[in-house]
Amino acid sequence: MFKRYFILNAAITILFVACSNTTAEFPSQSFRSRLSEGDRHMGWSLNYFDSWQNGLQPRYLMLAERHTIAAIKLFRHLESDTSPRISEYYVVRERRTRSCRLLAELQFEAGNHGHQLSSSMPDGCVYF
């Protein structure tokens, strides 16, 4: 009797331990938190772009570019993780597209003022 109880207790313990471990296959953040993270990057980008327009200091363009690219990558990954069958897919798609437009505008502004930003567009953006 004691042996059965011990084996059953060991099996339950192993089951709890196995189920409590997280796997790296699934994103740990929710859709909303990932969307908010991309929005935060875009907020920083717009803030730095406004600073660029006020003072024309190249570092602001570089910071805006860095945050815009981070937002594009986040939105692209979130879009690929979301089904086109649900409305959130189109929300993310629109934000990625808007981010790509901002990046193109940043590159245009830099070129007009004799500065060079990275000339390549990240995956998920295309020139029209």
Burial label for 2, CB within 10 Å (0-12, 13-18, 19+), is exposed
Cβ-contact 96, 124 below 8 angstroms: yes
Domains of the chain listed by start with CATH number = 30-112 (1.20.58)
Residue that has been written with the tokens 């859709």 in this structure: 31
pLDDT of 16: 58
**The predicted structure's pLDDT at residue 73:** 93
What are the pLDDT digits (tens) for 17-55? Answer: 555 555 555 556 788 889 999 999 999 999 999 999 998
- Averaged pLDDT score across all residues of the chain: 82
Q: Supply the pTM of this predicted model.
A: 0.73
Average of pLDDT values for 6-13?
60
